[in-house]
Structure 1
């Protein structure tokens, strides 16, 4: 392992974005070129698991350390590796690289190798607020067990809308997986699901993983404690009325009062609603997931 590359990579990113974490040293079977290191990995997801909804079933990833060099040669080396292990044209297989959003040095190399920015991990610091409109008749409250069916329906509507942007895949097991996940969240000791109601009808939802349930993603930022906003959406027939903004602003005030330093979330880069909405409410890109699906075309 080239320790100097690791150090230069860490120093470069620390200057670019103070909210990025200190990356651990790479391990395993590495590939390298001048000024660059990469750790390839593979994960195959059970098609019945809820995780199968959040991406392809077969995921080839490359974790990179770059010391100001051209990323292109390292991607070439990874291409050689993928050619040996990937079935060409497999649409449920993707090559993925998670890249610090403010590090623009690798963008051209990624584009020239056929990668596209697909998902952003965005971050909001405590105290950042967007608009909080007053919506006549709107009630915001925590979900209870009696709301399970309504929560699943709102969740499924968001999944179906986001599936058209290529990051999510609704599968036969998706609805049942969402129901299990939502039931588990409702049962948590600390309330973590907020519903927006108009005329006793649930029209919007936000869910948040609070510590320690957010530990799985907390390492993606240097700030702590971190929460993860996993779901935010309103019914399609109520969009544009300010319900989403009122709901999110309410949730942010509760998170700030609870001492949460930063909140993370994911949105699809191509989603014309998510990008402006979350930016307006204080989120900015921290990581960008660059994807190529299928990993190798037939």
Structure 2
């Protein structure tokens, strides 16, 4: 006696993710050799759409920032993030995944003006770029990297002095940080919230108290620029290992030049000093990284000239209901 045809057991969502992730890792390696191995997505709501060979998947996560927290100066209060696992898929399947993502947005998020839908993706993947633009997402920030090496020598400026900042420089550092925030809030993802001054003062006081590298540029004794920086380890299991190859990296957290001095070379002197210090003060530093805003007409020119090139792009739409 023979049985009838056996029913096909569909792959579990976890198995689909595993299979697609293997292909995605090859895709990333071919796109940009500077990328680390494509990471597995974090825990969240798993989405699987389509059928082979057009099946794709993703994980949707949601987080909220409480009032008064530092990230609210560059982030919406409620954020829905898509972590695509699309293997080698093209435009059509990725469009379908974004459709499914919008269906997973929480009602509270859709009603909240202080919300965002975001996705971080390799900057060189132009297939994804076309899809994200079509769906209303904007490239509000890029993570850019620079390998270790000589920095372009700035023009000599005898009237300019660059020195380390200390706790006594708190107020001038807060002023310069707020000037940068006021400008970047017009041309990128930063937000000038009502409590920005208090939040910045606490963050900078803590940085200076811990002795984290902060440099001031002074002209004739007046502070005209500031740069905050430090080191981070892309060790296995660390969040940075999802974005950068393993090892120690220098990072530039904030660079600010007072409005009257922009274009005078202050920024170049600050960055040259900071990069040289970051690369020489720790052994085995692989390079430096930072975030800048592509819509910013100053940053989008200054940082590439300094040798930084985009690795990851943060795509975002605010409010989240604007996701098409």
TM-score normalised according to structure 2 size: 0.86
Return closer, same or farther for 1:113/1:216 CA change in 2, 3 Å cut-off.
same
- Is it true that 1:227 corresponds to 2:250 in the alignment? yes
Return closer, same or farther for 1:297/1:4 CA change in 2, 3 Å cut-off.
closer
Q: Which of 205, 212, 219 in structure 1 is aligned with 2:226?
A: 205
2:286 aligned partner: 261
2:145 aligned partner: 123
Question: Secondary structure in 1 aligned to 2:272?
Answer: helix
User: How far did residue 297 of structure 1 move?
Assistant: 4.2
1:16 aligned partner: 31
**d(CA) in 2 for partners of 1:279 and 1:241?**
18
**d(CA) in 2 for partners of 1:83 and 1:51?**
21
- Is it true that 1:50 corresponds to 2:73 in the alignment? no
- Is it true that 1:290 corresponds to 2:315 in the alignment? yes
Q: Is the 8 A contact 2:217 2:266 kept in 1?
A: yes
Q: Which of 273, 293, 299 in structure 2 is aligned with 1:274?
A: 299
2:7 aligned partner: none
Q: CA RMSD in A?
A: 2.1
**d(CA) in 1 for partners of 2:116 and 2:100?**
17
User: How far did residue 211 of structure 1 move?
Assistant: 3.5
Q: Which of 86, 97, 110 in structure 2 is aligned with 1:74?
A: 97
Between Structure 1 and Structure 2, whose CA radius of gyration is higher? 2
User: How far did residue 213 of structure 1 move?
Assistant: 11
**d(CA) in 2 for partners of 1:290 and 1:68?**
20
TM-score normalised according to structure 1 size: 0.93
**Structure 1: stretches of 5+ with no match in the other structure:** none
1:195 aligned partner: 216
- Is it true that 1:237 corresponds to 2:257 in the alignment? no
Of structures 1 and 2, the one with the larger relative CO (CA 8 A, separation 6+) is 1
**d(CA) in 1 for partners of 2:109 and 2:181?**
28
User: How far did residue 106 of structure 1 move?
Assistant: 0.9
**d(CA) in 2 for partners of 1:75 and 1:122?**
25
Question: Secondary structure in 1 aligned to 2:210?
Answer: coil
- Is it true that 1:170 corresponds to 2:192 in the alignment? yes
**d(CA) in 1 for partners of 2:57 and 2:40?**
10
2:127 aligned partner: 105
Q: Is the 8 A contact 1:42 1:61 kept in 2?
A: yes
Q: Is the 8 A contact 1:117 1:288 kept in 2?
A: yes
**Structure 2: stretches of 5+ with no match in the other structure:** 1-13
1:251 aligned partner: 274
**d(CA) in 2 for partners of 1:213 and 1:100?**
17
**d(CA) in 2 for partners of 1:273 and 1:14?**
31
What are the Cα deviations for residues 189-238 of structure 1, in whole angstroms up to 9, with x where unaligned? 4x410111111111111101324699654542014211221111211101
**d(CA) in 2 for partners of 1:283 and 1:198?**
27
Return closer, same or farther for 1:218/1:174 CA change in 2, 3 Å cut-off.
farther
